[in-house]
Amino acid sequence: MSAFEGVEFENVSEVFNHFSDTQRTMNGTSVYYGNSGLKRDPLSTVIPMTILYTLILVTGVIGNVSTCIVIARNKHMKTATNYYLFSLAISDLLLLILGLPQELYMLWQKYPYAFGEPFCILRGFTSETSTNASVLTITAFTVERYVAICHPLRAHTMSKLSRAVRLIVVIWICATLGAIPLAAQFGIKYEEVDGLLNPESAECTVKRPINYAFETSTFIFFAIPITLICVLYMFIGIELHRSDRTINRNDQMTNSSTESGSQNGHLSAQLSESSPRLPLKGKQRVSIFSKNGSVYTKFRSRKSYRSTAMATSLRGSVNTSSRRAVVKMLGNYTFTSILNLYH
């Protein structure tokens, strides 16, 4: 039986008012409109989610704003790594400020959507842009960590501020362009009742589907980055493990050489006094003590010696800090991925 049977109306507004009143009478509360479903979930779900969203909003805004202020005001904090963190904080703020308040509103009232179609499209655009920028920034940071750990000499030429700034600009341009197809799908959708659109059923949702837009975006901004990140972190882990073994082996060799050197110190002194002073011309003299007490002396380029020493020093210095960076960035990427899947 139709809800309009036996009832006469003077205008369209009365039709929707009657429709709404009928739904209230049938359900006892103002929670349905036709096939749109519940206007909100039960309070047992809404209240805990509201508290959780509020905590995320407050702590997220305070934390990310503090990060931006600290990096912007301190000159010694202006490094390529911190610029990536600054970009990541901006993308998080964009999602927190423009996306989360609407999620809070829609927890309590799924429809009618009160902000209009332009803001609905803007919501989808900012959400996609922020997510894309976060993923690409983490990927760029991972590449930078990989170069710093696995190719430390090359990192000195690649990790420049100007290069990092240009890369961040490219990241945001790509994130913006990648968000346009998905944002274009959003709009205000109404439920149709007997050929008429019910304004009380307005929802911000996918209105104009574009074929393969979601699949393409997921492949470019999720599948490829997470695969690249996993592969690079695997190489980073292998390099850190290898560096640990090398450092431990060098420490053992140094200790044994020190003991051998103390036993044969008088022999080294005699050789030094009796040996003629030859011009090295950029050479570094290296004395090697053998187990039988013999001393061998060889010469190698000072440039080669400095390069090797620099590489060893860099590998050792980044060893501990790199582990912390790896764990931190894996945590950030996991959080971003979960948030992206939830939306």
For the segment 284-309, the average pLDDT, to the nearest whole number, is 46
**Cβ contacts of 282 within 8 Å, gap of 6 or more:** 301, 302, 303
Residue 328: predicted pLDDT: 52
| pLDDT for position 167 | 92
Rounded Cα–Cα distance for residues 239 and 233 (Å): 10
Over residues 109-136, the pLDDT tens digits come to: 877 887 888 888 888 899 899 999 999 9
* Contact by Cβ (8 Å): 188, 202: yes
Contact 187, 117 (CB under 8 A): yes
**220-245: pLDDT as tens digits:** 999 999 999 999 999 998 988 887 77
**Amino acid found at 332:** N
Return the higher-pLDDT residue of 287 and 40.
40
Do residues 133 and 91 lie in contact, with contact meaning Cβ atoms separated by under 8 Å? yes
The contacts of residue 127 (CB under 8 Å, 6+ apart) are: 95, 98, 99, 343
The pTM (predicted TM-score) of the whole model is 0.63
Bridge partners of 189, per DSSP, are: 203
Place of tokens 């051998």: 260
Element (H, E) at 77: none
Pick the CATH number of 31-243+318-342 from 3.40.50.970, 3.30.460.20, 1.20.1070.10, 2.40.170.20: 1.20.1070.10
Distance CA(155)–CA(124), nearest Å, equals 38
CA–CA dist 174, 186 (Å, integer): 20
d(CA 107, CA 43): 10
Residue written as token pair 């582990």: 323
Tokens of 17: 């008012």
Q: Using CB atoms within 10 A of its CB, is residue 92 exposed (0-12), middle (13-18) or buried (19+)?
A: buried
| pLDDT tens per residue, range 2-30 | 444 444 545 444 544 544 444 443 343 44
Which is more confident, 162 or 62? Answer: 62
Give ∠ CA 59-62-63 in degrees, rounded to 5: 80
Say what the pLDDT of residue 19 is. Answer: 45
Mean pLDDT over residues 75-88, rounded?
89
Q: Please answer whether residues 78 and 161 qualify as being in contact, where contact means their C-beta atoms are separated by less than 8 angstroms.
A: yes
Identify any residues that bridge with 150 across adjacent strands, giving them in sequence order: none
pLDDT in tens, 59-81: 999 999 999 999 999 888 888 88
Confidence of residue 214 (pLDDT cuts 50, 70, 90): confident
Mean pLDDT, rounded, of the chain: 72
In sequence order, what are the residues at sequence separation of 6 or more whose Cβ sits closer than 8 angstroms to the Cβ of residue 322?
145, 148, 149, 236, 240
pLDDT at residue 278 in the model = 44
